[in-house]
Amino acid sequence: MAYVDPGGASLKTENQKYFSKTPSSLKMWKMARELTPFGVHSNYRFTRPYPVYFRRGIGGKIVDIDRNEYIDFNMGFGALVSGHANPKLVHVLKERLENSSVLGFEDENSYTAAELINKRYGTDMVRFSTTGTEATMHAVRIARAFTGRQKILKFEGCYHGSNQDLLFSVKPNLDDAGLPARPSPVPAGPGIPEFMKKGIAISQFNDLDATTEIVEANQNDLAAVILEPYPMNMGVIVPKRDFISGLRDLCDEYGVTLIFDEVKTCGKFYGGAEEVLGVRPDLKVLGKSIGGGVAVSAIAGKKEIMENVGPGAISHAGTFNSNPLSMSAVVTSLRDVLTRQAVEKAQRLSDTMAEGYGDLLQLYEIPSTVPLAGLSGAISFNMSQPQNWREFLRGDIGRWNYYYLSMMNRGVIPAGPGADEQWTVSVMHTEEDIEKTIEVFKEVVPRISLRYPLLGVEESV
Ligand SMILES: Cc1ncc(COP(=O)(O)O)c(C=O)c1O
């Protein structure tokens, strides 16, 4: 059942549908881009032909300004594992707002929030911040201070927020990226000072041999190895177990701080990636889902490292850190909403959706894989499951763009906007949401096997 005709005509039809379905968004975008670059306040939100503007979300659904309803599997780029407007959170946060959202001193709930984080994620001490970007920035500085060294090793294709220290080789073009075993640091766009390259070393995810050589070559300078344990800024990459345990051994051998960036993964498994991988990092960075939709992040880890943060020692501060709104949100999300039972139920729904996708892709003989990680998964139009950024790039992005656009036109946002994103199933999605999604995919899949013009991956974030 292989289809070979070119997909330009199908793509055109879907584009026309998109325009006729979202006229208010088009109007809004034309106005917004006069005041805001590209009409969006985060580069990741810009989509072609233009971004849709939204009004409200409830449970697993989201409504745009033309009143179109979508089943949402972007879920705030993974921030909303609790679901949109989760009633338990709405109740607590309304009450909290009536009693002030910034006290300017420590909030009484910050103790309970810290206790919940440490217990769930296996850490000794924690400091709260507001965004993932800030938290990776602090984590890297803490590691530099603790080890007295400067250099950080990160992996090609991993994203750690708009943190300048780590804005290298996020989505590098292969022309600039160097040899696979010895990648060059590629700044993620202009404005990142040349001298910062000296502070960074790059390796390929899932390649322990190459990473070992790079760590050995930098052993006197290396402060930290930072990674997304399941990279989720190149679809979904499943880590090899011996790669992760090998990194732990390497860091132990050379006195390097191992940092897991769990900004996304902390919500994809009940206890984060550490729980499934069985490897304990020295520091971890949490964000997104822990706040149930309120901006909050955390730097957490071993006491011997974290106890060095403080006045006159390692810097960490922020007006909005541990504000009452975010602390109430953390306590309610972790204690009452993201229970093990609820997370396991969401994972079953995610598995069912993956199975539905996989069966149809196989039926139509479309070269693809569906890598999974807890509540997330991604359709990857690759011959085999990608292991790193360079393999991810071999996927058919044109096909992915067609899949995304045509699902959206039929009322499903199947993932974050971009082949480098993935779906997130929340604790408020239902079996009907999954059934409807697969029904929609049935309509779309026959045309996915066509060849589509490539719009390309945005190179800078
Ligand atoms: C793994 C990872 N780390 C850090 C960040 C940055 O978090 P934030 O957008 O809250 O600054 C992101 C954002 O998507 C992320 O995916």
pLDDT in tens, 432-456: 999 999 999 999 999 998 777 765 4
Residue 458 has pLDDT above 50, yes or no: no
Q: With respect to residue 293, please indicate whether it lies within any of the assigned structural domains.
A: yes
Same-domain pairing of 231 and 217: yes
**pLDDT category, 11, cuts 50, 70, 90?**
confident
What does DSSP assign to residue 151? E
Looking at 310, 337, 364, the residue that finishes a domain is: 337
Question: From atom 12 of ligand 1, which residue's Cα is the shortest distance away?
Answer: 161
Confidence grade of residue 423 (pLDDT, cut at 50, 70, 90) = very high
What is the DSSP secondary structure assignment for residue 267, as one 8-state letter? G
| Residue owning the nearest CA to atom 5 of ligand 1 | 161
Residue nearest to ligand 1 atom 8, measured at CA: 132
Query: Does residue 131 contact residue 297 with C-beta atoms inside 8 Å?
Result: yes
CB 17 within 8 A of CB 409: yes
**265 lies in some domain:** yes
Mean predicted confidence (pLDDT) in 311-322: 97
Question: Does 329 lie in the same domain as 421?
Answer: no
DSSP-derived secondary structure letter, 165: G
Mutate to test the pocket of ligand 1, among 41, 44, 133, 236 (most ligand atoms within 8 A of CB): 133
Residues 249 and 104 in one domain: yes
The pLDDT of residue 5 is 52
Burial-class residue 319 by CB neighbours within 10 Å (0-12, 13-18, 19+).
exposed
Is there a single domain that holds both residue 120 and residue 65?
Answer: no
Owning domain of residue 275:
99-337
- 258: number of Cβ within 10 Å: 23
Neighbour tally for 275: CB within 10 Å:
15
Q: Which atom of ligand 1 is nearest to the CA of 295?
A: 10
At position 178, the amino acid (one-letter code) is G
Residue 460, domain member (yes or no): no
Separation of CA 301 and ligand 1 centre (Å): 18
Pair 353, 433 in one domain: yes
Ligand 1 atom at minimal distance to the Cα of residue 131:
10
User: Residue 262 CA: which ligand 1 atom is closest?
Assistant: 1
Percent of the chain past pLDDT 70, that is, above it, reads 97
Q: Is residue 363 part of a domain?
A: yes
- DSSP at 6: B
3-state SS of the chain: helix, strand, coil percent to 5? 45, 15, 40
- Indicate whether 197 and 301 sit together in one domain: yes
Average the pLDDT over 144-172 and give the result. Answer: 97
pLDDT given for residue 214 in this prediction = 98
Quote the ligand 1 centre to 77 CA distance (angstroms). 9
Instruction: Tell which atom from ligand 1 comes closest to the C-alpha of 133.
Output: 11
Q: Give the nearest ligand 1 atom to 77 CA.
A: 14
**Alpha-carbon 438 to chain mean position:** 23
Q: Is 397 found in the same domain as 300?
A: no
Quickly list H helices, 303-430: 303-306, 324-332, 340-363, 389-393, 397-409
**What is the per-residue pLDDT for 6?**
63
Average per-residue pLDDT in the chain?
95
Domain boundary among 286, 303, 337: 337
**Do 140 and 72 share a structural domain?**
no
Whole-number Å distance, alpha carbon 298 to ligand 1 midpoint, is 12
Do 311 and 343 sit in the same domain of this protein? no
pTM attached to this predicted model: 0.96
Is residue 92 included in any domain, yes or no? no
Strand partners, 300: 126, 284
Residue at 259 is within a domain? yes
Per-residue pLDDT at 10 = 85
Q: Are residues 229 and 362 in the same domain?
A: no
Ligand 1 surroundings by CB, under 6 angstroms: 77, 131-133, 136, 159-161, 228, 233, 261, 263-264, 287
Q: Which of these three, 284, 311, 337, is where a domain ends? A: 337
CA of 362 to the centre of ligand 1 (A): 33
Judge contact between 411 and 443, C-beta under 8 A. Answer: no
Ligand 1 atom closest to the Cα of residue 231 is 1
**Helix 208-217 / helix 241-254 crossing angle, nearest 10 deg:** 10
Provide the CATH number for the domain around residue 24: 3.90.1150.10
pLDDT at 2: 47
pLDDT in tens, 390-411: 999 999 999 999 999 999 999 9
With tokens 């975010």, the residue in question is: 326
| Span 237-256, average pLDDT | 98
**Of the listed ranges 205-209, 355-359, 446-450, the one predicted with least confidence:** 446-450
CA distance 1 to 114: 55
Residue 75 CA: distances (Å) to CA of 85, 261, 386, 417: 11, 19, 24, 11
φ, ψ at 224 (rounded to 5°):
-150, 150
Ligand 1 centroid vs 290 CA: distance in angstroms? Answer: 13
Indicate whether 177 belongs to any domain.
Answer: yes
Six token digits for residue 315: 């810097």
71 and 130 in a single domain? The answer is no
Q: What is the residue with the minimal CA distance to atom 6 of ligand 1?
A: 161
From atom 13 of ligand 1, which residue's Cα is the shortest distance away?
Answer: 161
Q: Are residues 132 and 72 in the same domain?
A: no
What average pLDDT does range 417-442 have in this prediction?
98
265 CA closest ligand 1 atom index: 1
Q: Could you tell me if residue 458 is inside a domain?
A: no
Number of domains in the chain: 2
What confidence tens digit (pLDDT) does each residue in 30-80 have? 999 999 999 999 999 999 899 999 999 999 999 999 999 999 999 999 999
What CATH number corresponds to the domain at position 269?
3.40.640.10
